[in-house]
């Protein structure tokens, strides 16, 4: 009896997560500027770094896809809570019958969907226009899903500091996310990075996503697939658990 009620509880909460994701989509994601930004920003940033280098466009597709996944999945998450606090919807939201982990999961789910759908655009363009061949479609699919969740959880974690000013969190989020793209082998494959790069790259979850996506297109990875997937999973867990802990902590202090 205990087990069935536990199961019911989880089913209820998951249902609520979906409703939260739907709310986030309506309020934050499905706005024309947000969608356009999600499409163009990774592209421009990427072009800014690679133009003038002697690489074929086809070789660039994995990097562009990684960038796109990273920037979209983690972009809106950070501002959700400052925004809800500022708009005075926060307390009402946390007083509904949903437990905190599932509330945050719902927010991450919205980031995940946004990331995956927007990233399908560079993926399709890469395959159709630049004839990039996907050698390992299964790995690519799993990597995109796991990576997108991981980055969405990072976004939710960045949303934890208590503030009513979304711009402050935007700053924090930029300070955390931009450096990551330089140390994670997105532009340059890891084996071509300098020694210092190889040493700090393992600290970034983006490294493993980039490695897996490059493998899906080019058949070669720097780390083993098992290591890449495990570490992406580990980072996801760490981000989610610390996000829950931070949010729970501020709830306890009544802020």
Partner 1 sequence: MGKKCPKENVNIQKGSKTNHRNAPLSIAIRAVDLTKYYGKLRAVDHISFEVKRGEIFGFLGPNGAGKSTTIRMLTGILKPDGGEIYLSGINLKDDLIEARRVMGIVPETCNVYVDLSVWENLMLMGKLYGVPKTKRKVRARELLERFSLHQRKDEKARKLSKGLKQRLILAMCLIHNPDILFLDEPTSGLDVQSSRLIRGIIKELKQKGVTVFLTTHNIEEANLMCDRIAIINKGKLAAIDTPQRLKGVIQGSQSVEVAFDRSKPDELRWLKDIPCVSRVEKLGNKFRLYTDDPDKVICEIVKYRELKSQRLTLLNTLGPSLEDVFLELIREEAE
Ligand X SMILES: Nc1ncnc2c1ncn2[C@@H]1O[C@H](COP(=O)(O)OP(=O)(O)O)[C@@H](O)[C@H]1O
Binding site for ligand X (CB under 6 A): 254-255
249 near partner 1, rule: CB under 8 A: no
Q: Which of 94, 142, 172, 200 binds partner 1 (CB under 8 A)?
A: 94
Cβ atoms of residues 62 and 210 within 8 Å: yes
Q: Which two tokens stand for residue 49?
A: 């770094």
Distance CA 102, CA 117 (A): 22
H helix runs in 74-130, sequence order: 77-86, 90-94, 100-129
H helix runs in 90-224, sequence order: 90-94, 100-129, 137-158, 166-183, 195-200, 205-218
CB atoms inside a 10 Å sphere around CB 64: 26
Which range touches partner 1 (CB under 8 A), out of 34-42, 87-95, 116-124, 184-192? 87-95
Which CB, 52 or 254, lies closer to ligand X?
A: 254
Distance CA 23, CA 93 (A): 11
Residue corresponding to tokens 């399908």:
120
Cβ atoms of residues 147 and 232 within 8 Å: yes
Give the number of residues written for the chain. Answer: 255
Which CB, 13 or 207, lies closer to partner 1?
A: 13
Q: Which of 36, 40, 44, 89 binds partner 1 (CB under 8 A)?
A: 89
9 near partner 1, rule: CB under 8 A: yes
Q: Which of 91, 138, 195, 196 binds partner 1 (CB under 8 A)?
A: 91
19 near partner 1, rule: CB under 8 A: yes
6 near partner 1, rule: CB under 8 A: no
Non-local CB neighbours of 163 within 8 Å, separated by 6+ positions: 82, 85, 169
Q: Which does 26 bind (CB under 5 to 8 A by kind): partner 1, ligand X, none?
A: partner 1
Q: Which of 48, 51, 52, 88 binds partner 1 (CB under 8 A)?
A: 88
Which range touches partner 1 (CB under 8 A), out of 12-20, 64-72, 128-136, 142-150? 12-20
Among 251, 242, 252, 254, smallest CA distance to 108 is for 242
Which CB, 3 or 255, lies closer to ligand X?
A: 255
Which CB, 27 or 227, lies closer to partner 1?
A: 27
Which CB, 48 or 255, lies closer to ligand X?
A: 255
Q: Which residues bind partner 1 (CB under 8 A)?
A: 1-2, 5, 9, 12-13, 15-16, 19, 23, 26-27, 87-89, 91-92, 94-99, 251-254
């Amino acid at each position: 009896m205990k087990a069935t009620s536990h199961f019911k509880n989880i089913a209820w909460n998951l249902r609520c997560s979906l409703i939260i994701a739907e709310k986030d989509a309506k309020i934050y994601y499905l706005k024309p500027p947000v969608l356009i930004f999600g499409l163009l920003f990774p592209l421009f940033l990427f072009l800014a770094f690679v133009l003038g280098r002697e690489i074929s466009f086809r070789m660039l597709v994995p990097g562009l896809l990684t960038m796109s996944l990273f920037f979209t999945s983690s972009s809106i998450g950070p501002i959700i809570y400052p925004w809800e606090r500022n708009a005075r919807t926060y307390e009402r939201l946390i007083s509904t019958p949903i437990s905190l982990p599932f509330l945050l999961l719902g927010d991450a789910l919205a980031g995940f969907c946004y990331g995956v759908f927007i990233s399908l655009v560079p993926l399709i363009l890469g395959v159709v226009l630049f004839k990039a061949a996907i050698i390992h479609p299964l790995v690519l699919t799993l990597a995109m899903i796991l990576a997108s969740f991981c980055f969405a959880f990072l976004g939710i974690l960045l949303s934890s500091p208590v503030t009513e000013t979304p711009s402050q969190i935007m700053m924090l989020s930029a300070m955390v996310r931009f450096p990551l793209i330089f140390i994670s082998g997105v532009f340059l494959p890891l084996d071509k990075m300098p020694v210092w790069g190889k040493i700090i790259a393992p600290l970034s979850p983006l490294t493993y996503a980039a490695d897996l996506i490059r493998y899906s297109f080019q058949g070669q990875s720097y780390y083993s697939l098992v290591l890449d997937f495990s570490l992406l999973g580990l980072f996801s867990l760490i981000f989610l658990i610390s996000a829950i802990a931070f949010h729970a902590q501020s709830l306890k202090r009544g802020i």
